[in-house]
Chains A and B, each alone.
Chain A
Amino acid sequence: MGLLSKKDTLLLTDPLADNNPITIQVLGICSALAITAELKASIVMAISVMFVLGLGNVVISLMRNIIPSKIRIIVQLIVVATLVIIVDLVLKAFAYELSKTLSVFVGLIITNCIIMGRFEAFALGNGPWRSFLDGIGNAVGYGVILIAVGFFRELLGSGTLLGFKVLGDPIEKTGLYAIGYENNGFMLLSPMALIVVGIIIWIQRTKNTALIEEN
């Protein structure tokens, strides 16, 4: 037995695939899709959510016995809002350009359903260490989808990854562009984020038929 027992490892790995917050639990789509046109923004968003969810889960779990259940939603919102303000200020201080791109979507982490969902479903009934692992696991599961969507949209839409021209230069016609490849500007428009997530869900459920829904 190391630091993680078998049950704890499951907390970390389960949300990555079979209980993924986005594709299975349908949580946290709100702020996820609009910012995935660039890989960099997706990565920053994933890290921000990991910070907020990991710490928030611990805080709520520590306070779980003293929160009156009637006003727990407001308490949870205040905890998240405080953490998100920290994220927002850090982004504004160290990555101002990026915080402009993310604009209101940093603030929308507050109402990201993943966070409230995990608070309600897990942190209110479990100890701090397990809640922390659950938070990190779910944030990683969320991040994986975000990064996958961001990867395809940036690669197919602008032919770059993190700003590097991996497919060659579209103006000087080097690399793939030399043989007539064109960027698909459509991928940069917001509706394609939905369709890309739809396709990811399709692939995932084709592989794991147990996840298929009834109707």
Chain B
Amino acid sequence: MEHLELFFKSIFIDNMVFATFLGMCSYLAVSKKVATAVGLGAAVIFVLAVTVPLNWLLDQYILKDGALVWLGEEYAEYDLSFLSFIMFIATIATMVQLVEIIVEKFSPSLYNSLGIFLPLIAVNCAILGGSLFMQSREIPTLGLSLTYGVGSGIGWFLAILAIAAIREKIRYSSVPPALRGLGITFIITGLMAIGFMSFGGMLTGGDEEKKEQPTVEAKLDKKELNVETAKEIIADNTNINQ
């Protein structure tokens, strides 16, 4: 349940592109065709799914305040969290290189479709942002951090897929010349972000049990009401109808 909630939350409510504007550069630059957008989106999901859990381990066992305690009691006072930027980005850059090599070796067809995008991804804000948000939101377990990574990746994928599809269609409309290209893309993204804000009420987080009870009571009340005052209501209705 926890996993499912975090999963949907990271896709829709905290969508990387629409809620926090992460990865906008490649989002705007690579969204002219659906096919390339799909390639980049898949690569982002893949890399996020690898780097977020990895950086979670780094954060938990090396960087956090007192995380070095597993080395011995005397290390308990060390707080290396100021190093997290440099550690995270180094992990990401290394992982991207590693993933590129592995994919090239084992699946040349996947490499051909993802390959050109992988180096781009090392400097994609969405990847570093995923790790930094993982750190600042204090995600508690390794499993949840994996869910968070995959979820935000899918959110980003959905966003770039949607904008690429819209941009392919909008080519045939008569946009004012000065707005063509970048301008209209910005405005469409803004409108899409407003649309995604409506997902904000989807999960209220952890209070489902409390909510169920009042609704049941309300139903009971209604039934009693119906039995007792049915005639009155009918009478009222007929009055109104007249």
Given contacts A30-B22, A81-B86, A89-B82, contact A74 B93 (CB under 8 A): yes
Residues of B within 8 A of A198 (CB): 179, 183-187, 190
* Chain A residue total in the interface (Cβ 8 A): 50
Q: B233: CB under 8 A from chain A?
A: no
A-B contact pairs, 16 of them (CB 8 A): A74-B94, A77-B122, A77-B123, A82-B86, A85-B85, A104-B135, A107-B84, A107-B128, A108-B22, A111-B89, A191-B191, A194-B187, A195-B191, A197-B186, A198-B179, A202-B179
Whether B123 pairs with A73 at a CB distance below 8 angstroms is yes
Q: B216: CB under 8 A from chain A?
A: no
B29, B126, B129, B193: which contacts A26 (Cβ < 8 A)? Answer: B29
Q: Which of A85-110 contact B (CB under 8 A)?
A: 85, 88-89, 103-104, 107-108, 110
Q: Which of A40-48, A56-64, A153-161, A205-213 is near enough to bind chain B?
A: A205-213
Whether A111 pairs with B125 at a CB distance below 8 angstroms is yes
List residues of A whose CB falls within 8 A of some B CB: 23, 26-34, 73-74, 77-78, 80-82, 84-85, 88-89, 103-104, 107-108, 110-113, 116, 189-195, 197-199, 201-203, 205-206, 209, 212-215
Whether A88 pairs with B85 at a CB distance below 8 angstroms is yes
Residues of A within 8 A of B23 (CB): 30
Residue of chain A at shortest CB distance from B194? A191
**A117 CB, nearest partner CB in chain B, Å:** 9
Q: B127: CB under 8 A from chain A?
A: yes
B25, B127, B187, B194: which contacts A27 (Cβ < 8 A)? Answer: B25
List 7 tightest A-B contacts by C-beta distance, closest first.
A213-B181, A198-B186, A194-B190, A30-B125, A191-B193, A205-B178, A195-B190
List residues of B whose CB falls within 8 A of some A CB: 18-25, 28-29, 82-86, 89-90, 93-94, 119, 122-129, 132-133, 135-136, 171, 176-187, 189-191, 193-194, 197
Whether A195 pairs with B187 at a CB distance below 8 angstroms is yes
B24, B182, B194: which contacts A30 (Cβ < 8 A)? Answer: B24
Residue of chain B at shortest CB distance from A204? B178
Given contacts A73-B93, A108-B129, A205-B178, contact A29 B122 (CB under 8 A): no
B89, B132, B189: which contacts A194 (Cβ < 8 A)? Answer: B189
Interface majority SS (helix, strand, loop, mixed), chain A? helix
Residues of B within 8 A of A206 (CB): 178
Residues of A within 8 A of B29 (CB): 26
Whether A110 pairs with B128 at a CB distance below 8 angstroms is yes
**A79 CB, nearest partner CB in chain B, Å:** 10
B19, B123, B133, B191: which contacts A104 (Cβ < 8 A)? Answer: B133
Complex CA–CA separation, A192 to B82 (angstroms): 33
Residues of B within 8 A of A29 (CB): 21, 24-25, 28
Whether A77 pairs with B93 at a CB distance below 8 angstroms is yes
Complex CA–CA separation, A213 to B177 (angstroms): 8
Residues of A within 8 A of B187 (CB): 194-195, 198-199
Complex CA–CA separation, A82 to B93 (angstroms): 15
Whether B197 pairs with A212 at a CB distance below 8 angstroms is no
Query: Told that A74-B94, A194-B189, A202-B176 touch, could you supply 17 new A-B pairs with CB distance under 8 A?
Result: A30-B126, A73-B93, A77-B122, A81-B90, A104-B133, A104-B136, A110-B89, A111-B125, A113-B123, A189-B194, A190-B18, A190-B19, A191-B18, A192-B190, A195-B190, A195-B191, A214-B180
Among B86, B89, B184, B186, max chain A CB count under 10 A is at B186
Whether A113 pairs with B25 at a CB distance below 8 angstroms is yes
Residue of chain B at shortest CB distance from A104? B132
Among A29, A81, A190, A194, max chain B CB count under 10 A is at A194
Complex CA–CA separation, A195 to B183 (angstroms): 9
Whether B25 pairs with A110 at a CB distance below 8 angstroms is no
Residues of B within 8 A of A89 (CB): 82
A73, A189, A192: which contacts B119 (Cβ < 8 A)? Answer: A73
Among B21, B122, B177, B179, max chain A CB count under 10 A is at B21
